[in-house]
Amino acid sequence: MATLVLHHQTSPAEDAEVLHQAFKGWGSDGKAIIAILGHRNVHQRQEIRRAYEEIYQENLIKRLESEISGDFERAVYRWMLEAADRDAVLINVAIKNGPKEYHVIAEISSVLSAKELLAVRSAYHDRYKRSMEEDVAAHTTGHLRQLLVGLVSSYRYEGDDIHAKLAQTEANILHESIKEKKANHEEVIRILTTRSKTQLVATFNRYRDEHGISITKKLVDQSSDDFVKVLHTVIRCINDPRKYYEKVLRNAMKKFGTDEDGLTRVIVTRAEKDLKDIKEIYYKRNSVHLEDDVSKEISGDYKRFILTLLGNQD
């Protein structure tokens, strides 16, 4: 796991004091906020939160929300949360925003390990006093509900065992379900929400070998309803999450108008995990560095903060 390191050793109390000073006067000092928070790892950020509250009797995240705004505020707010709590917030926002963001629910629940997803469900309980499953179910219907509830409540086996015959059988089930306009959604849902990721990758590979086309490309040729879009996200995230994230970033910047939410989500959630690998894939795919594309698309403190997380600015 990648970690951010301090340029020089400071205590959480000293960092809290710098932030407190940054909030004084007319308008906050965005550069000072970035200089501290953009260069502290998750454990250091939580220590700063505790130190700030202890010294100033004030919640640091709430103070940040009142001092900064827009995309910069959303990015810093999400960066300050621990990973499970952040994912719980992202899923809650996606539920509220409706079908156009259901892919975010699929993305998070498909990329995380079983234990990580369990931690997100627990964080969701603590924050919203409801279960993630009941909120997903309350906002969706039919097969889409079955798929999303199955994903967020899944606890997949994480061993490396592969059953070749099962991969063949289930590749055929997926093929028949996609081929038929009246797809056998229940079987597709069962397979995608219960099998281990290793087994599913074997099934997807079997599908490609048998039919000469990847299952995701075949899905794109089909209808573009909400169920199929979520299905597409699940398969991409399980098959190769880093390639999936590269495409989210590419789409966030290549389409008309920048998708700041997509850009922020990927960079903030992957900065301490595999962002370096995603950056390399981005360069290979686009022949331009991710930082260079980001620099052209966004501006101000938001730009400075995102570039800092990308490791490209002090």
Q: List residues forming the annotated binding site for Ca(2+).
A: 23, 25, 27, 67, 255, 257, 297
| Sequence ranges of the binding site | 23, 25, 27, 67, 255, 257, 297
Write a three-state SS string for the chain: CCCCCCCCCCCHHHHHHHHHHHCCCCCCCHHHHHHHHCCCCHHHHHHHHHHHHHHHCCCHHHHHHHHCCHHHHHHHHHHHCCHHHHHHHHHHHHHHHCHHHHHHHHHHHHHCCHHHHHHHHHHHHHHHCCCHHHHHHHHCCHHHHHHHHHHHCCCCCCCCCCCHHHHHHHHHHHHHHHHCCCCCHHHHHHHHHHCCHHHHHHHHHHHHHHHCCCHHHHHHHCCCCHHHHHHHHHHHHHHCHHHHHHHHHHHHHHCCCCCHHHHHHHHHHHCCCCHHHHHHHHHHHHCCCHHHHHHHHCCHHHHHHHHHHCCCCC
